[in-house]
A = this chain, B = another copy of it.
Amino acid sequence: MSIETLVRRPVAPARRKLLDAALSVIRTKGYAATTIDELCAKAGVAKGSFFYHFKDKEAVAIAAAVYWSEVTGALFAAAPYHRHADPLDRVLGYIDFRKGILTGDVPEFTCLVGTMVQEVYETYPEIRDACDASISGHAAKVETDIAEAMNFHRIRADWTAQSLALHTQAVLQGAFILAKAKGGAEIAAASIDHLRRYIEFLFQPATPKGKEAS
């Protein structure tokens, strides 16, 4: 996806350091409050390097959203829940995995693009689109497993795999907001528990009346 993986040339170290700094700083204080000087200081890089790699502040936000998708994409791709044969187990495993990574301080487990899009959705359409692409791209992966689970368990429903996938993201994003407001992950974990219970209900094997065994 990135230009570096196509062209055989190592990533410019300053660029990567700036992107790492952007993830950290923007997650902690948001986009508007983040200064380029702070990014450079955190990255240990001169200010000129910033403008060599990014044409302006908006550009680093967009690049950070793309980078975020790469980093988290790799994290989820390597997660163990993909091993389950039953796609429903993969979905539930995903939920459990999301709950499991609620560790450390709040800025460490919350979502960069969810944070950014809140402040920029009206003022920086390109950043908003980059955030949307990140969220929707991730949701699409979850949607795949949900759709397979619906097939596998012969679910006929008045909801779609897509809407449920997006709902899982809504719960997670909302859980992060509560965690930020309350200063801890416990509340977020409780909300994820509710989400898991809901999904288990949706895929319950039989309707209460009429025993339709497999």
Contact = CB atoms under 8 A, between A and B. Distances in A.
A174 B170 contact: yes
Nearest to A162: B190
Given A32-B30, A33-B123, A175 B181 contact: no
A118 interface: yes
Nearest to A211: B208
B115 A118 contact: yes
Contacts of A208: 204, 206, 208
Contact of A174 (B136, B171, B198, B206): B171
- A interface residue count range (under 10 / 10 to 19 / 20 to 34 / 35 or more): 35 or more
A167 B180 contact: no
A183 B32 contact: no
A159 B198 CA distance: 12
- Pick from A31, A169, A171 the residue with the most CB of B within 10 Å: A171
B135 A122 contact: no
A147 B86 CA distance: 36
Main secondary structure of the interface of A (DSSP, over half): helix
Given A32-B119, A119-B119, A159-B193, A178 B173 contact: yes
A164 interface: yes
Given A30-B32, A208-B208, A191 B167 contact: yes
Given A159-B193, A159-B194, A29 B180 contact: no
A28 B118 CA distance: 9
A172 interface: yes
B30 A117 contact: no
A64 B167 CA distance: 30
Interface of A: 28-33, 106-107, 113-115, 117-123, 128, 131-132, 135-136, 159, 163-164, 166-167, 169-175, 177-178, 180-183, 187-188, 190-191, 193-194, 197-198, 201-202, 204, 206, 208
3 shortest interchain CB distances as A-B pairs: A174-B174, A170-B174, A30-B119
